[in-house]
Chains A and B, each alone.
Chain A
Amino acid sequence: MIPVGDVPESTLQIIADNITGRFKLTTQILPPLEQPEYAFDERRLQYNAGIIIEAMEAMQFGNHDKVIGVLNNDLFIPIFTHVFGEARQGGKCGLVSLFRLMKNSDGSTPPKSLVLERVAKVALHELGHLLDLLHCEHKKCLMHFSGGVDEVDNMSLELCEYCTIYLQDKLG
C-alpha cells in the first residue's frame, strides 16, 4: 500500500488488513508519494488516473509484486466522468480514491465506518484486476462493476465462488 499525498494511516491499515485477511497476501505500507499535481487536469479539475498509474509503474518498489496507491483526489479516466479506482488487467499498480466514497448518492455524509468499508471494497476490487480477475456478473461479488456508491454498498467484501477459484488459481 502506498499513500499518494496526505492519507490517514488508519485508512491504509484497514485496506492492508482486508487484503491480508481476505486474499491471504502479505502487505506493507510504504512511505507516501507526493501529491500527483502532474496528473491534474485543469479543464476537468480532476486527476487523471491513467497518468498517475503510468508514473507509478515507472517507479521501483523493491520486491513488491503489486502496489495500490490511495489518495484523496477525485480521479477520472478520459472517457468517464469519474472513477473510484483504477487498475489495468494484470498490471502492477492500481489506485483508489477516497474522494467520492466520502459522500452518499443523495449528498449526505456517511459514517466513517461505511467510508472505510467502501475504500476496502474498491481497493480489493482493483487488486483483483491487478491479479487478472475480470468483472463478474454476480451482483454481490467483489468483482462486480460499480458505477455509483450505492452499488459499492450493495456488493460484498467477498468474492463469489467462481472468482474465488479463479483467484486461488492465479495465486497458485
Chain B
Amino acid sequence: MDGKMSVMIVDDEAIVRESLFHWFKKYGHFVETAASGFEALEKLGKYPFQLLFVDIKMPGMDGIELLEKVKTDYPDTLVIIITAYGSIESSVKAMRIGATDYLLKPFKPDQLSLVMERISVQKRLVSQYNYLKGHLEKITRFDNIIGQSSEMEKVFSLIPEVAQSDASILLVGETGTGKELVAKAIHAESRRSHLPFIAINCGAMPESLLESELFGHQKGVFTGATRARKGFLEVVSGGTLFLDEIGEISPKMQINLLRVLEEKKITSIGSREPVNVDFRLISATRRDLKKEVAEGTFREDFFYRINVIMIEIPPLRKRKEDIPLLVEHFLKKYCQETTKYVDHVTRDTMELLIHYDWPGNVRELENAIERAVVLSKSRTLNVEDLSFIRPAGKPISKTLSLREMEKEYIQQVLEGNNWNVTQSAKILGINRVTLHKMMKRYRLERPEG
C-alpha cells in the first residue's frame, strides 16, 4: 500500500475501535476514532479524513445515516461499512448510497488488507484524474468561465456563434468580470485556435512602448533598441490579438491601429517596408466608449472598426446566483494549488459572499477565496475567514466629495487585499505605479503591527 492515509474508525464498541486503531497504526496511517456518528461528523468538520470505517449498527445515528451525511457533505471521503450481521440488504443499501466497500465482522486479516490495496489503487487513479483534469482545464476554456445565470448563458451562446467569423469583437464589462477568459474562449472556438493568442494590456504601458510592442522596431531606432524586434501584430501571425483596456490608447495609436485593420499591413518603427499581417482582433474595455465617441474623446471610425460585434459581460452583482458556483470552483482551484483542504462554506459565509457587491467582480471574489483558503484553519470557511470583506449595503460614508470617495474606496480595496498593491491595483483597474501615486497623494499607509 503506497502513501499514508488519514483514517477514522467509527464504532460504538471500544474494543473494535481499538483493534482497528492499532492495525492501521502498523501501516503508519494517521488514525482517529469516534464512538458515534455525531462525533465522527464533528471530527470530519475539523480534519479532512480520507477514509472512514463505519459500523452499520450504532445507537443514535446508525452507519447508513452517517454514510448519507458524509456522502452529501464530504463526497471525496471514502467510506467502508463494517457489519456484524451479514445483512446483504443493508450492505447493498450502503453500496448504493456510495460506500466504497463493506466488510463482514469478523473478517480475515487479509480481507482488510485487500480492501486497503483497492483503496490505494482508487486513490492513485483519482489523484491522476484530478491532475489531468486540472491540466485540461488550463488548456480548454469554456470550463473556466463559470456561470449558470441567464446573463452568462447569453454570453455562452454568443461565443461559438461569433467565433466562426473574423469580425472584430468588443468585450465590454467592468474590471474583473473575465473579459480575457471570454476572449480566450472565442479564440479557442475559432478556426485560429491552433495559432497564437496574444493578450496586451494597453492601459499598462506608455504609448511609445505600446507602439513598439505592437508594431516592432528596427535595430538602433531608439536608445535601447540593440536589435530588431518583431511586433505582436506580426508575431500573432494568423492568431488572435486581444487588446485589453482599448479605451486607454491615445488618438494617435487609434489612427495607427485603424490603418492596420483596414490595410492588414504594418510597418515597424524605423522601417519603410510594410509587412502583411493576419489576425483576428478582440478588444475589451470597461469604459463607455459610445459615450466617449459622442463626447469626441474616442475616434468614431476606430470605434466602429473594433466594435463589429459587442458582447457585454455582466458584473458579478448582476448575476449573484453564480456566486456559489464560483466559490466552489475557486475553492477547488486553491485547494489544489495550496494543498490545503477546504471544501466547505458555512451558510452565513455564503450569505455574506452573496450579499457583498464585489466591485472588483469575479477577480475580487477569486482573490478573497484564495486568501481565505490560505488563512483558514479548518476545512470549513466561515465568516471570520472572510472578515476582510465589507458587507454590502454598508454605505461608504454619508456625504463625500468625489476625491474623498475615491480615497475611501482605494483604502477599502487595499484593506481588503491586505495592502497588497499589485492585487489592489488589479481590482481597481489601474497599474501599480498609479496606485502608489494615489496612495501617496491620499497619504494611505499600511497600519503598523
Contacts and interface: CB of A to CB of B under 8 A. Distances in A.
A45 to B, nearest CB: 13
Contacts of B46: none
B16 A78 contact: yes
Contact of B19 (A77, A89, A137): A77
Contacts of A89: 22, 25-26
Interface string A73-94: 0001111111100001100000
Nearest to A83: B109
Interface stretch (A15-23, A61-69, A145-153): A145-153
Contacts of B108: 80-82, 147-148
Given A50-B19, A89-B26, A78 B106 contact: yes
Contacts of B15: 50, 78
B448 to A, nearest CB: 48
Contacts of A82: 108-109
Most buried by B among A50, A77, A78, A83: A78
B340 to A, nearest CB: 27
B18 interface: yes
Interface in B1-59: 1-2, 13, 15-16, 18-20, 22-23, 25-28
B179 to A, nearest CB: 51
Query: Which among A89, A137, A148 has the highest number of chain B CB atoms within 10 Å?
Result: A89
Given A50-B15, A137-B2, A79 B26 contact: no
B13 A148 contact: no
B110 interface: yes
A134 B22 CA distance: 11
Interface residues of A, number: 20
B19 A78 contact: yes
A147 B25 contact: no
A129 interface: yes
Nearest to B2: A137
A135 interface: yes
Contacts of A77: 19, 23
Contacts, number: 60
Interface string A119-134: 0000000000100001
B107 A134 contact: no
A137 B27 CA distance: 9
Given A78-B16, A145-B113, A137 B106 contact: no
**Which interface residue of A44, A79, A134, A151 has the most chain B CB atoms within 10 A?**
A79
Contacts of A135: 26-28
B105 interface: yes
A88 B109 CA distance: 16
A88 B22 contact: yes
B113 A79 contact: no
Given A134-B28, A135-B27, A79 B107 contact: yes
Contacts of A147: 108-111, 113
A43 B23 CA distance: 23
Contacts of A137: 1-2
A89 B16 CA distance: 17
Given A50-B19, A89-B22, A147-B113, A80 B107 contact: yes
Nearest to A90: B25
Interface in B86-123: 105-113
Nearest to A134: B28
Given A137-B1, A145-B109, A79 B25 contact: no
A89 B23 CA distance: 9
Given A78-B16, A79-B20, A151 B110 contact: yes
Contacts of A88: 22, 25
Nearest to B20: A79
A76 B105 CA distance: 12
Given A77-B19, A135-B27, 7 more contacts: A50-B15, A78-B15, A79-B20, A80-B108, A89-B22, A134-B28, A148-B110
9 contacts: A44-B106, A77-B23, A78-B13, A78-B16, A79-B23, A83-B109, A88-B22, A89-B25, A145-B26
3 shortest A-B CB distances, which residue pairs?
A: A147-B110, A134-B28, A147-B109
